[in-house]
Structure 1
Amino acid sequence: MAAIGAGAFVWDGQRIEEEELRRSAQELQQLENPEAFPEQERGWEPVMEREHFRLWRRPIPGSALFQYRVFGSYTDVTPRQFFNVQLDTEYRKQWDSLVLKLDVVERDPATGSEVIHWVTQFPYPMYSRDYVYVRRYSVDSDRNLMVLVSRAVEHPGIPEDPEHVRVRSYESHMVIRPHRGFDENGFDYLLTYSDNPQTVFPRYCVSWMVSSGMPEFLEKLHSAALKAKKMELELRDYLSPAKGPEPCGAPQHLEYA
């Protein structure tokens, strides 16, 4: 297994490029102005609405699975706190009781992309699932946006383990828009997500697990951000290069035409 930050990225070609970050930022525009985008970018079916968020889904062509979209808002934590809590793998091991393993395997110094190995519990009687995915983030202070993109990849240093089921289809795009600034309470977020947990359960069971599990995770994430704020926990600050890793090779201003 490659050491973190050492040498060339062993899986060159599977980095998350800047264009992928731009497309993720556009998803917020699609939600606010759907008529300005092609028909294939629409077709979202409402699934759930609660006080702090709305959930939609749409079929993934050629499969029995759905893609999900959550739009929500919080007013009691800052965008920086919410963003840092998502990215801090060590802190997640404390607040997410389902995590069995969560490690940064490798970082790409050219783009800031990181390979993550994540093992998580699934409801009994299912086996735990393990994910190998790459993630990359961007912070655009001019457009007041934060973007985090993750998707499944193959990595030669992380072979399959017979104790877990390897999830090979997984993608997550999070866009955060502060109501004011990165350090002031209040923001909107848009999460677009798809996952094939590779179960033998009927489609409606899988749909229920994903559509109910995602809001539950977001509420735990929000609670963890509140706890970090209240206890003044020292988390890695991913918005400040002096305190965190390199700023991901992404420009501070991206065009989202």
Structure 2
Amino acid sequence: MGFSVEEFTSTLKEIDSPLLHEYEFFVQSHNVKVYRKYSNESGLYQYKVIGEIEVEPETCAEVYMDLEYRKTWDKYVSELKHLSNGETEYIYWDVAYPWPMSHRDYVYRRQKMQFNENGTPSWVILGCSTTEDDMKALGEIPEKSGVIRVDDFIQGLALTSNGKGGTKAFMHYYDNPKGNIPTMLINWAASTGVPDFLSKMEAACKGYKDYKASL
């Protein structure tokens, strides 16, 4: 089950015109700004992130989609693999949370779409937890003992040129990690983890050419 064209286009529009009227400014780190919106239903926050990466957007999109490469630069990956390939990918991801917290794992679908508006190429990558229909097609993915299954997850990433040889990035992110994680720790992860991820991704993008050459 794929995403709608409108879901892609609405995410792309937020690069230049982010919809922040329900969000509050949360934190800024270097050239990354994080905004958040409280969800009464879950008691957690949704986040919108705006920043820049000093690498062209096509490389950023390739690096973000490359699961095998992700294993080499993301220390929180315990297991990461494709369950099904195609225009819409299905992915299994086991995330190593810091000790003493339990690992979390995700079964989610992901899809990429490229745009070319006024001669400027852009990429949008969407992901979300699998639905019942998805799981009927995939079959059962058993939960692991001691690992908490995250089944409430959405992410949208848009990448375009910043006009200076780099990338302007927008991200919308929410997940419910379940369990008794202190609010302070969740806030810390959002305020430092997201900017830190973009920083590590930038370094990974800069090393991607050498990684590809080594294969």
Superposition TM-score, scaled by structure 2 size: 0.87
Does 89-98 or 42-51 show the bigger shift?
A: 42-51
Residue aligning to 1:47: 26
Deviations 1:49-73 (A, max 9, x none): 1222111111124220101111111
User: Retained in 1: the 8 A contact 2:15–2:168?
Assistant: no
Shift of 1:159: 1.9
Would you say 1:122 and 2:122 are equivalent positions?
A: no
AA partner of residue 23 (structure 2): W
2:67 to 83, 89, 102: 89
| SS of aligned partner of 1:16 | coil
Residue aligning to 1:205: 185
Map 1:1-257 → 2, pairs under 5 A: 14-31=1-18, 42-75=21-54, 77-108=55-86, 112-143=87-118, 144=120, 145-154=122-131, 155=135, 156-180=139-163, 185-229=165-209, 231=210, 233-234=212-213
Shift of 1:179: 2.8
Q: What's the RMSD between the two structures over aligned residues? A: 2.1
Q: Is the alpha carbon distance of 1:94 and 1:114 closer, same or farther for their aligned partners in structure 2, counting shifts above 3 Å?
A: same
Q: Is the alpha carbon distance of 1:57 and 1:235 closer, same or farther for their aligned partners in structure 2, counting shifts above 3 Å?
A: farther
| SS of aligned partner of 2:63 | helix
Structure whose CA Rg is larger? 1
Shift of 1:29: 4.3
Deviations 1:106-151 (A, max 9, x none): 134xxx0100000010011111110011001111123532100011
Shift of 1:79: 1.1
Does 134-143 or 195-204 show the bigger shift?
A: 195-204
Length, aligned pairs only: 207
| SS of aligned partner of 1:213 | helix
Tell me the percent identity: 27
| SS of aligned partner of 1:114 | strand
AA partner of residue 130 (structure 2): V
Structure 2 Cα separation of the partners of residues 226 and 107 of structure 1: 26
Q: Which runs of 5 or more residues in structure 1 are unaligned? A: 1-13, 35-40, 237-257
